[in-house]
Amino acid sequence: MNSTMREVLISCPGTGEPVSTGISMSVYAFDELSELAVYTFRCAACGELHTWSKADARLAPAAALD
């Protein structure tokens, strides 16, 4: 079981770059997100407010163990 916290990423609609939503969660918490919920964050890539849902998001890869 992997309960490591990972950043939630989306692709910026303006730049296409993957950006962090500023939220970190475990794989299990991500799996439990509602398909209907919509979230908002200010994008580090373009400075605009973006909305996202679970369908738009993915978790960053797990960090390699040292």
How confident is the model over 27-47, as pLDDT tens digits?
A: 999 999 999 999 999 999 999
Rounded to 5 degrees, what angle do the CA atoms 33, 7, 51 make?
A: 60
Domain boundaries, the chain: 6-59
Q: Considering the chain, what percentage of its residues have pLDDT values greater than 70? A: 91
Q: What is the CA radius of gyration of the chain?
A: 12
pTM of the model as a whole: 0.85
The string of DSSP letters for 11-56 reads E-TTT--EEEEEEEE-HHHHHTS-SS--EEEE-TTT--EEEE-GGG
- pLDDT band (50, 70, 90) for residue 63: confident
